[in-house]
């Protein structure tokens, strides 16, 4: 099990990354955050506390880990397939969620697209789209509770 308390990367201040970080780093980080927030399986697990009392810290740890994979402008430290596997394994180990919908593939693909457009300095538009999707997902999640008669 990973210990979020030992996380050395400060995920709350992505703008203070090394100078070797890709262009549009802040937008990339915002896009990753929005992507994770709009991932319904992950959001449900975190909000539902399926990872125990440390659910929120575990979510932050995953986000920081993803940032670390993409910190250099040259090449990500993981392949697309490795990122997919990491997401699925992390949800299973830390939140007891077995993804049967293969949503980790879509999340990993969006994160890779964010990175690639970031390296090409075109991230702002894609990041804005991902953020807008996350805001819409949050609005749906915060909507009225279903009443059972």
- pLDDT of 10: 39
Report residue 53 as tokens: 């009392």
36-52 pLDDT, tens digit per residue, is 999 999 999 999 999 99
89-146 pLDDT, tens digit per residue, is 999 999 999 999 999 999 999 999 888 888 777 645 666 676 666 666 666 555 544 4
CA-to-CA distance for 136 and 53, rounded, in angstroms? 27
* Gyration radius of the chain over CA positions: 15
| Contact between residue 28 and residue 45 where contact means Cβ atoms under 8 Å apart | no
**Helical spans, DSSP H, in 39-122:** 40-47, 55-69, 80-95, 103-119
CA-to-CA distance for 17 and 15, rounded, in angstroms? 6
Q: Read off the pLDDT band of 28 (50, 70, 90).
A: confident
- Predicted TM-score of the model (pTM): 0.71
């Amino acid at each position: 099990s990973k210990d979020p308390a030992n996380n050395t990367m400060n995920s709350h201040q992505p703008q203070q990354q090394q100078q070797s970080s890709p262009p549009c780093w802040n937008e990339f980080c915002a896009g990753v955050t929005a992507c994770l927030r709009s991932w319904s399986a992950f959001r449900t697990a975190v909000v539902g506390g399926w990872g125990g009392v440390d659910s929120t810290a575990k979510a932050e740890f995953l986000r920081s880990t993803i940032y670390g994979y993409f910190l250099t402008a040259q090449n990500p430290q993981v392949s697309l397939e490795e990122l997919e596997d990491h997401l699925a394994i992390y949800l299973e180990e830390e939140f007891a969620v077995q993804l049967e919908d293969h949503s980790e593939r879509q999340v990993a693909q969006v994160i890779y697209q964010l990175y690639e457009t970031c390296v090409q300095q075109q991230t702002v538009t894609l990041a804005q789209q991902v953020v807008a999707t996350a805001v819409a997902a949050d609005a749906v999640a915060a909507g009225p509770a279903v009443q059972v008669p």
